[in-house]
Amino acid sequence: MDTTTLSLLLNDPNLTQVLKAIAFKVQNKERITFDEGVYLYKHAELGYLGVLANHIREEKHGDQTFFNRNFHIEPTNLCVYDCKFCSYSRLIKQKEEGWEMSVDEMMEVLKKYDNEPVTEVHITGGVVPKQNLEFYSEFFRRAKAHRPELHIKALTPVEYYYIFKKAKLTHFEGMKYLKEAGLDSMPGGGAEIFHPEVREKIAHDKCNAEQWLDIHEQAHLLGMRTNATMLYGHIEEYWHRVDHMERLRQLQDKTGGFQAFIPLKFRNQNNQMDYLPEVSVIEDLRNYAIARIYLDNFEHIKAYWAMISRETAQLSLNFGVDDIDGTLDDTTKIYSMAGAEEQNPKMSTQELVALIKQVKRKPIERDTLYAVVTDYTAVEFENEVKPQYYKLPVIN
């Protein structure tokens, strides 16, 4: 455990009083305040944040680095909403550019993985009237009947709010109905930035913060585990990020139902906010680290490699991250459309393991609920695989 580096930091005479007080809090496992969170964003440099976040990460998980074997189904890329940052959806009126799957078509995608050792299907996409409560309950029932052990992590409060309202159900009734149909857990999407000052500018017509949080709360009450995301690096200010994490921290105190926090870097291609520059990798790492420090009641901080690149995912493991999501298998279009480096994100288990081992961490395949499936620390593959990067730096 990295206590020496933290002790060295605590004795650094150049630290401001506030940074020193925060470091002591981390050492004593005390919670930092809203103002201290904002102070970190404004004043803390990368090295300092890395020491604190890595200390917390190693206290919680040692060198263990989690991933799972999953695939995505994106039932539609049409959407009734108009989020300004979204590169993925086509408004309903541009229907010719979109797809909208039937339950049979979704089952066909699911069945492609019949002989693959995947443990999770992650379902997310746009919001359309036809994909309603009955549509999803039929799909969940058929998916469970076909492959009972496959974990269904599906949809977000954005879809649920729309679906339950049309079905005239409360959030609790709707979640209960879908849980009984086979829904196991909920991914973290749709959170964006909670504060209305930002939300009204980037995602004005979908569920608001209170509705998003309430649907998660009802899911937690029903015993489901869920994730939470934050879309950062666009028009928000630092205090909006802290406000976002504060709301999550409060709900987590109440229910304990969140598993992972996943910061999502705003990517600026093919959307209505393409005039904004993207933030730097340094800012990405600072953000992971501050999330690790602020969200003391979240077990896991996840870096979504398909979005931030394999190299940044490797680096993030020293800045509080302990999970890099899954193998994906080429089934998600959300990030390639938004400008992420990889057009068809896909990594074999062997490649993921090599990526984690290269930065001297322990690769652990987990299921959705973080039960260990395989510890790859001592596993040697027959044919050595080197981490593959989508591009190599050009040196002139």
Q: How many CB atoms lie within 10 A of CB 387?
A: 17
State the virtual CA torsion across 369, 370, 374, 376 in degrees, nearest 10.
Answer: 150
Q: Tell me if 219 sits within 8 A of 172, measured CB to CB.
A: no
Tell me if 262 sits within 8 A of 228, measured CB to CB.
yes
Q: Which does 89 bind (CB under 5 to 8 A by kind): ligand V47, ligand SF4, none?
A: ligand SF4
Does 79 engage in binding with ligand SF4 (CB under 6 A)? yes
Comparing CA positions, the residue from 159, 140, 166, 193 lying closest to residue 89 is 159
Residue 26 or 338: the one with the smaller Cβ distance to ligand V47 is: 338
266 binds, among ligand SF4, ligand V47, none (CB under 5 to 8 A by kind): ligand V47
Of residues 308 and 355, the one with the C-beta less far from ligand V47: 308
**What is the strand order of the sheet 362-366 is part of?**
323-326, 64-68, 362-366, 372-375
Q: Is 76 in the site for ligand SF4 (CB under 6 A)?
A: no
Rounded to whole angstroms, the Cα distance separating 272 from 265 reads: 16
Residues 132-161 binding ligand SF4 (CB under 6 A) are 158
Interface characters, 265-304, with ligand V47 (x: CB under 6 A): -xx---x--------------------------------x
User: Residue 329, interface with ligand V47 (CB under 6 A)?
Assistant: no
Residue 35 CB, nearest approach to ligand SF4 (Å): 31
Structure tokens of 372? 């260990």
Confirm if 290 and 45 have CB atoms less than 8 A apart: no
262 binds, among ligand V47, ligand SF4, none (CB under 5 to 8 A by kind): ligand V47
Residue 334: contacted member of ligand SF4, ligand V47, none (CB under 5 to 8 Å, by partner type) = ligand V47
Give the list of residues 6+ apart from residue 74 with CB closer than 8 angstroms, or none: 123, 124, 125, 331, 332, 333, 334
Nearest distance in Å: CB 334, ligand SF4: 8
Task: Collapse the DSSP code of 73 into the 3-class scheme (helix H, G, I; strand E, B; otherwise coil) and give the result.
Answer: strand
User: Which one of ligand V47, ligand SF4, none interacts with residue 157, CB within 5 to 8 A by kind?
Assistant: none
Binding to ligand SF4 (CB under 6 A) within 292-321 occurs at: none
Q: Choose the binding region for ligand SF4 from 86-94, 176-184, 258-266, 293-301 (rule: CB under 6 A).
A: 86-94
> Which of 35, 110, 103, 53 shows the shortest CA–CA distance to 296?
53
Task: Kindly tell me which residue out of 206, 216, 220, 247 binds ligand SF4, with binding defined by CB under 6 A.
Answer: 206
Determine, following the binding rule CB under 6 A, whether residue 211 of this chain makes contact with ligand V47.
no
Residue 349 lies near ligand SF4 (rule: CB under 6 A): no
Cα–Cα distance for residue pair 5/8, rounded to 1 Å: 5
Tokens of residue 24, six digits: 């002591």
Task: Single out the residue of 39, 71, 81, 304 in contact with ligand SF4 (rule: CB under 6 A).
Answer: 81
In whole angstroms, give the CA distance from residue 69 to residue 263.
Answer: 20
User: Which of 127, 285, 291, 313 is close enough to bind ligand SF4 by CB under 6 A?
Assistant: 127
Q: At what angle do helices 209-221 and 157-166 cross, to 10 degrees?
A: 90
Of 52 and 79, nearer to ligand V47 (C-beta) is 79
Single residue of 68, 70, 89, 252 touching ligand SF4 by CB under 6 A: 89
d(C-alpha 285, C-alpha 57), whole Å? 14
Report the Cα–Cα distance between both ends of the chain, in Å, rounded: 40
> Which positions from 109 through 138 interact with ligand V47, judged by CB under 6 A?
124
Q: Are 291 and 265 in contact (CB under 8 A)?
A: no
Binding site for ligand V47 (CB under 6 A): 85-88, 124, 187-190, 192, 227, 229, 231, 262, 264, 266-267, 271, 304, 325, 334, 338
Interface residues with ligand SF4 (CB under 6 A) are 79, 81, 83, 86, 88-89, 126-127, 158, 206
